[in-house]
Every structure is written in C-alpha cells, then in structure tokens.
Structure 1
Amino acid sequence: MSYKNKKLCKIRTITTFLSLTKDKTKWEEKIKNACCFCDELSTKFNNIDYEVQSVRVVTNAFEEYLNISSIATAKKDLAYISSLLNKYSNENLRIRFAIGEAKTKEQIEMLPKLIASYGDLCNACVNIKKDEFDILDDETILQCAKAVKDISKITPRGEGNFNFTVNFNCKPFIPYFPASYHQSSLEDSYVIGLETPDLLVDVLKSNKNKYKTHKDKFKGNYEALSKALQYHVDNILTIINSFENSDFKFVGIDSSAAPSKNCSSMATVYELLGLEYFGAAGSIEVSSFLTKVFKSIKNVPLVGFSGLMLAVIEDLGLAAGTKNENYDIRTLLMNSAVCGIGLDTVPIEGDTSIEKIASIMKDTGTMAFRLNKPLTVRLFPYPNLKQKDITSYESEDLCNCAVLKIL
C-alpha cells in the first residue's frame, strides 16, 4: 500500500485564472485575493501532508490591461504587478505569474524584452490559429520563431525561453506555465496541477516481474497506476469540496505527471515498463499506454493537457538520454502523436534559423489540429552551441544536456 504515501504525489501548482482591466486601482485587490486564496488552500493541503510546490496567477491577454503604447509603459505596469505579488505572496511558497497571450505582431515583438526584465513573473504564450482550409497562420508562427531567437540572445544562455511557448489547439485552464492563458469572458477560476513521477515509479517497481505476458503487464499496470492516481485525486478533492471560497471557481485537475529535476524521471517509467530507454522501439506504445492512464481519472473534470509530459531539460533522465543519443527531436514529435505536450524545453543549436524553428512549429501545430489535441512548442536555442555540445544552464529548474538539431 506504499502508493498511499502522500510524499509520492505532490501538488505542483495551484493556478488561479483572473481578469484584469485598464483600471489599475482594481489590480491590488484582485492580486491580493489570488495570493490569499492560494495561501489558504495550500495550508489546507499541507495540513493533510500534501506538499504544494508553487502557486500561479494567470491573466487575460495583456493587451487588455497593460499599457502597451511602449515597452517602457508596459515594463512600468509589470513592475507594479511585481510589487503587488511580492507584497502579498507567501515567502515560503514560490509564486509565478503569466501575463496571458500575445495576439499581434507588435505584442510578440515586446515579449523578449519583457521576459528578459521579469522572467518568472512574465510568462507568456501565443495561440496559433488555422484557417478554413486547415492552413496554419504562417506569419504569426514566423514572428514567434523570431521571438524565440531574440530571447535566446538577450537572456543568459537563452534561459528566458523557459517563459515563452507557442500553443496549438490549446484551451484555457492549462495550469502549467507558460502555456497558461485566461479569457476575460470566463469566470475567475482555479486548477490543480500534479507532480506524480515518484508515484508512477513506486507502483511500477512494486509490480516489476509480476506479469508473464505482454497483455497482462499492460493491463495489470494500468489498473495499479489508475488506482494509485485516483486515490490521491480523491484525497485532493476532499479538500477542494470542503473549501468555501466565492472568488475562484474550481474547474478541474490537470492529471499530467509534470516531471521536474527534483523527482523521478519519466525515462525511468519507460524502463520499468520494459524498454531499454526512452526512444527505443516500443516507446510510442508506452507513451500511448501512459496517456490512457492519465485520462482514466474519475470524479473530476480533466483540464489542460492531462497527458504525458516529456520535458527534456526539466527531467534528469531525459536530459541524460540526449547525451546518450537515445532520441532526437523527431522522436519527441512522433510520441506527441499519442500523448502530449509537444516539443517542450528542447535545447537546439544556437544558430538554428528562424525558418527551421518555424517549420518544426508548423509540424507540431499540424499534428495538434489534425489529431485534435493540445500541443506546444518551447525551444531553447543555446548561443554558440552545436549538436551534441553540452549546455551549462544555471536555472534551478533546468537540467544540463546535449543540444539537439532540427533537421
């Protein structure tokens, strides 16, 4: 019954979604309410031994509330928001902020400088649309690719790209940054995001060598993993259902495993399911199986990605796999056909052209709309590094690995 150990299932984030307007006199009350709400709910979870790792605040599109007449006025507004977050946040709990989506060429061009100045308090995304012929918005994709390159040049080691992503077929209420965005037509709400790789590994280790056939292995592990996840989701729901708050509406849970460098690797999960390593033959079958597990959660709406995340430089095992040449960008993209999240935190050659970045974005976007699933692209061009060179990230969130090449 070790799967009931609450240390195996962490709450990666309590993410609130709220709307701001041009009336700056209302900002303090809204941000204060969000911070106090997250702090109070975090305490409730901590009281039943569930660790909350971060709280996050997501807004509607920043054009609707920031003064974007110039980069200087936008920075001034963000400085004020930053001061409010610092004023009302819990010093023992990491807080992150997303300014919503950029919708125009001019807004996308602003993002590199805003991110360079405010980093984790300036997460942003762009939602790419398609036309009636299923043709993606090529012009906006090229603008996004240029932003990725610009961020890589003006932030140390290109780490600012941690705060920017391009979304394809992504709906509101994604709790994980920087794909999160809110719409002012929606209620102020909140979502819970989990971190469960330690739980997955514990269950699979308990079941190792237990099944004789391929079919029994997948069936038995599916039942065991689903049971373990459901146990913790039900515990979390007990707190949510007893938590009275009129400011934010609970809209669901993102059941994604959400790996980090401080927990078990998703690569270990693949190995425990019988593969030599992630990227070996059979990886797509395992990816599909794991996605089915994450979609099996009952009693609660599933929002966001609610699927398999393969975040290359947030996962020590996947980072090691780049050094061993276990997989490449195409491998990640192929697995995204049966899971998610797309191409997430992938280090690429520093001199990769804007056109190549745009092309891999279009491949990802085409899959997202054709298969009707949410996929994102978050690439990290690393200045002056080539394929197989090793990165030297300094962010506490990022693992060092070998640079991959967009072919």
Structure 2
Amino acid sequence: MSDNKAVKASVDFEMIAALKDKTLCNVRTVTTFVRLTSDESAWQAVLEAAISHCENIAAGLSNQGYNVQSIRIVTNPYGEYLDISSLSTAAAGLATITDILNTLNEGKNSLRVRFAIGEAKTVREIALLPELIAEYGDLCNACVNVPANEIGVLDNELIEQCAETVQAIAALTPRGEGNFNFTVNFNCDEFIPYFPASYHSGEVKKGFVVGLETPDLLVNTLQHIHDNALLEGLTYQQSRHLIFNALHAALQYHIDIIDGCVRKLNAASDWRYLGIDTSPAPSKDCHSMVDVYKLLGVPYFGASGTVESSALLTRVFKSIENVDMVGFSGLMLAVTEDKGLAQATLDKEFDIPMLLTNSAICGIGLDTVPIPGDTSKDKLCALMRDTGTMAYRLNKPLTVRVFPVPELTAGEVTQFESSDLCNCAVLAVP
C-alpha cells in the first residue's frame, strides 16, 4: 500500500504539467434531450431552444480552449410525436423537422448538428426505420432497447425485428452505410450522449450531457510516462498502478475544468445538466485506441494481454470523481470509426469473438462492425443474443451496431464513402 501511495504522489507531481494542453481533450458532443408532442407548431421553438443552448455551452467551452465537434438533439420516442399511421406521414413529419433544422442553421458557420428521433418501441415504429433512415440519414438516428426477463432471456421477437431492420437498412442504403444510424441497445440507460444509442423517455423536458473524445490525451499521457522512464525499477503491479493513476489524473484534470465550466454556463438557464460521459469516443481524426494498447505493452489489439489492458482502461474511465457520470462511461472500440482498429482488420489481428470477449470488460459492445452482406437473420439474432446476454448477466450497457455490406464477403475490403467511417476488412460472423 505504501508503494502505491508513493507511486500516486509521483504521478500527480510529474504528470500535471504535461496534461494542460487542451487540444488533447476534445468535446465530441453537447447533447440535448427534448420532448416533442404531436403539435407541429411547437417544434420550431423546442428545436431552436436546444440548438441555442448547445451553441452557448459550446462557445463557453471554446473560450476555455476546448474544441467542440458537434451538437446533438435527442427526442422522446418518435411514435409519440410523429404520425406513424403510414410511412408517408412519418416521413412528412421528419421532413418538417429537417426543414426547421436547416433553417435554424442557415447562414451560420455552425457546428455539425445531428438529430436522433428517439427510441423505437413498437413493431410499427421499428418497421418504419429502414425507409426513414434511408431518406433522412444523420437526422434520423434511432435505437431499440431489448429487455430481458427475470431469468435473463432476451425478447427474441424484438431481436428478430431488429435483425430484419438491419438487413433492410443494408439493402436500402449505399454500401450499407445507413446502419451507422441504427443500433440495438441492451441494458442501456437514458441520456447516452453518443448516437445512435441515445434515447430518453421524455420525463426530462430540457436536459443535456457532454461527451468527450480523449484518445489523444491517453496516448500523450502514456508516451510521457515512457519518454521519462517513469516505469523503470517498478514491479509489474507498481507500473500498472502508476499508469492507472496517470491516466486518471489526465482525465480528471480536464473533466474538472469542463464540468466546472458547463455548470457555470448553465447556472442561469432552465436546462438540467445531467453529467458527462467519460468514454474516450475515438474517431478517424484522432489517435487510435490501438495506439493506447501498444503503449500499454500489447503488441496489437487482439494479442495476449488485450483483455487485461481493456480492464485497466475501463477502471480508469469509471474512476472519475466529483462529476455525474452518464451514458457508457467506459472503453469504446468502434471498428470503422477508429483507424487503428480498421487497419487491424486488414492485418487480420482480431475477430468478432475477440470483440465479444472485450465486451465483457468494456462498455459498448459490437460497434460499427462490418459483416458479410449475406449474413443470415439467424446469425444476426444469435450475435445480438450473445451480446445482450452479456449485458444483462454482467450488468453493463452493450449495443450491437453492425453493417452487413452488400455483395462483400469476409476478408473483402469496404468502400465506405461516409466521412465518419474508415475502410476495413469485413469480419466473419462465426
């Protein structure tokens, strides 16, 4: 114990000067949660207030030196405010919302605005999603929450409907990219800031959360440790303890500033600040989580030692103090959004079973995983049941967001055109 205390003290002293660069910690999103009703005349005021609040928070964070990448709006379940009596009536409602959002952003040098129509709860609502997503894309993010019964058995009828939806989206959208906007949630709470898993019941009319992007901070912190030979002379346990405390200190330093800034900015508003998702949320524009694993001594993601490092990282993201943690607040492994993981598929360094193994430790599940276009409904359902069973058995939030890529088989390389996605090898579904 005395060794651990000494290590923690040295990390606090050695690390803090290297952690102050705010460009290492991006704010991926300021996400608002609003409630719409069937009264279309009220939609503009609600959406305008949401965008205005996001922009105010984003401007304040920017003044503090933090880059904000996007603002997002999440509604209550869309069946509560859109007319879902037919596809055309639902699409007409989304067209109105799209027009409102475009008008509100017209003439601005605005942040990227993304919109989620909330949770699809009924068979009818789920059945409408493929066509709505195909037409409205990033302004039609949606999720389905699959429950489990008292002995942990998942609602398989709902899973089958979700599998059919995934297949339909793949068929209706170029290269199957529309599945970027749809996910299946297991044991996920409300107020996740990241899309498309984000949803809320509508009980909170005006709430918001902050989501981060921190792989650059993690990599620079670990590189600082190695460059300054801080691990020399330590036992393995001591070195792991030092790394844990260094990463914790790095994140805590910036999260304290961001949280304090947001609370001050929100003090006079009628918006409810719900907290921060401490997940690293990698993207193609920052360091890969693979770089983090390598600096932790794992030669490549999927090698022996991967799970142990995943557990260490997860503990770091869960260790943040003095803030309200929301959403996943855990390790994120998003295959096609992370250039290192995408390259690792080309190098055949991991597979879906490895991702599932790490899902027992991390906090998101199977995310943005390209799979063969002819993957059967039965296999999709089995993959969802495996992931969902782990979520409820281990009491953690997990999701399934897979991309059946039309006409591609395992090992072939995707040709995605979305600016959000990296091209990678299609992974076999065992």
Give the direction of change, closer, same or farther, for the CA distance of 1:114–1:245 in structure 2 (3 Å limit): farther
Q: Is contact 2:214–2:282 with CA below 8 Å preserved after alignment?
A: yes
Matching of residue 255 in structure 1 with residue 278 in structure 2: yes
Residue 245 of structure 1, CA deviation: 4.3
**From 227, 230, 240, the counterpart of 1:210:** 230
Instruction: Give me the whole-angstrom Cα distance separating, in 1, the residues matched to 2:37 and 2:416.
Output: 37
**From 34, 44, 55, the counterpart of 1:28:** 44
Residue in 2 aligned with 1:142? 160
Matching of residue 160 in structure 1 with residue 178 in structure 2: yes
Residue in 2 aligned with 1:283? 306
Instruction: Give me the whole-angstrom Cα distance separating, in 1, the residues matched to 2:313 and 2:264.
Output: 31
Q: Is contact 1:59–1:182 with CA below 8 Å preserved after alignment?
A: yes
Give the direction of change, closer, same or farther, for the CA distance of 1:403–1:328 in structure 2 (3 Å limit): same
Matching of residue 66 in structure 1 with residue 82 in structure 2: yes
Q: Match for 2:246: what amino acid?
A: A
**From 93, 96, 109, the counterpart of 1:77:** 93
Residue in 2 aligned with 1:307? 330
Residue in 2 aligned with 1:228? 250
**From 103, 107, 124, the counterpart of 1:106:** 124
Residue in 1 aligned with 2:208? 190
Residue 41 of structure 1, CA deviation: 1.1
Q: Report percent identity of matched pairs.
A: 55
Q: Is contact 1:16–1:248 with CA below 8 Å preserved after alignment?
A: no
Residue pairs, 1:8-407, within 5 angstroms: 8-89=24-105, 90-208=108-226, 209-211=229-231, 212-243=234-265, 244-407=267-430
Q: Is contact 1:33–1:247 with CA below 8 Å preserved after alignment?
A: no
Residue 314 of structure 1, CA deviation: 0.1
Instruction: Give me the whole-angstrom Cα distance separating, in 2, the residues matched to 1:103 and 1:406.
Output: 27
Residue 185 of structure 1, CA deviation: 1.9
Moved over 4 A (4+): none
Q: TM-score, normalised by structure 1?
A: 0.98
Q: Match for 1:43: what amino acid?
A: A
Give a deviation string over 1:49-89, Cα, whole Å, max 9, x none.
10000000000000100011111011110011111111223
Q: Is contact 1:45–1:236 with CA below 8 Å preserved after alignment?
A: yes
Residue 31 of structure 1, CA deviation: 0.3
Where does the alignment leave 5 or more consecutive residues of structure 2 unmatched? 1-16
Give the match's secondary structure for 1:307.
coil
Residue 186 of structure 1, CA deviation: 2.6
Give the match's secondary structure for 1:388.
coil
Q: Match for 2:352: what amino acid?
A: I
Q: Match for 1:321: what amino acid?
A: A
Give a deviation string over 1:255-286, Cα, whole Å, max 9, x none.
00000000000000000000100100110000
Give a deviation string over 1:109-156, Cα, whole Å, max 9, x none.
100100000000000000001122321000110110010011111100
Give the match's secondary structure for 1:66.
coil
Task: Return 190-199 or 42-51, whichever deviates more.
Answer: 42-51
Residue 290 of structure 1, CA deviation: 0.1
Residue 246 of structure 1, CA deviation: 2.9
Give a deviation string over 1:191-245, Cα, whole Å, max 9, x none.
0000000000000001114314321221111111111101101111221121134
Instruction: Give me the whole-angstrom Cα distance separating, in 2, the residues matched to 1:238 and 1:303.
Output: 16
Instruction: Give me the whole-angstrom Cα distance separating, in 2, the residues matched to 1:389 and 1:293.
Output: 36
Q: Is contact 2:33–2:204 with CA below 8 Å preserved after alignment?
A: no
Instruction: Give me the whole-angstrom Cα distance separating, in 1, the residues matched to 2:376 and 2:197.
Output: 23
RMSD: 0.9
Instruction: Give me the whole-angstrom Cα distance separating, in 1, the residues matched to 2:356 and 2:156.
Output: 19
Give the match's secondary structure for 1:126.
strand
Where does the alignment leave 5 or more consecutive residues of structure 1 unmatched? none
Give the match's secondary structure for 2:385.
helix
Matching of residue 2 in structure 1 with residue 18 in structure 2: yes
Q: Match for 1:251: what amino acid?
A: L
Q: Is contact 2:61–2:262 with CA below 8 Å preserved after alignment?
A: no
Give the match's secondary structure for 1:53.
strand
Q: Match for 1:31: what amino acid?
A: L
Give a deviation string over 1:3-29, Cα, whole Å, max 9, x none.
210000000000000111111111111
Give a deviation string over 1:72-108, Cα, whole Å, max 9, x none.
0111100111111112235430000000011111211
Q: Match for 1:229: what amino acid?
A: L
Instruction: Give me the whole-angstrom Cα distance separating, in 2, the residues matched to 1:91 and 1:377.
Output: 34
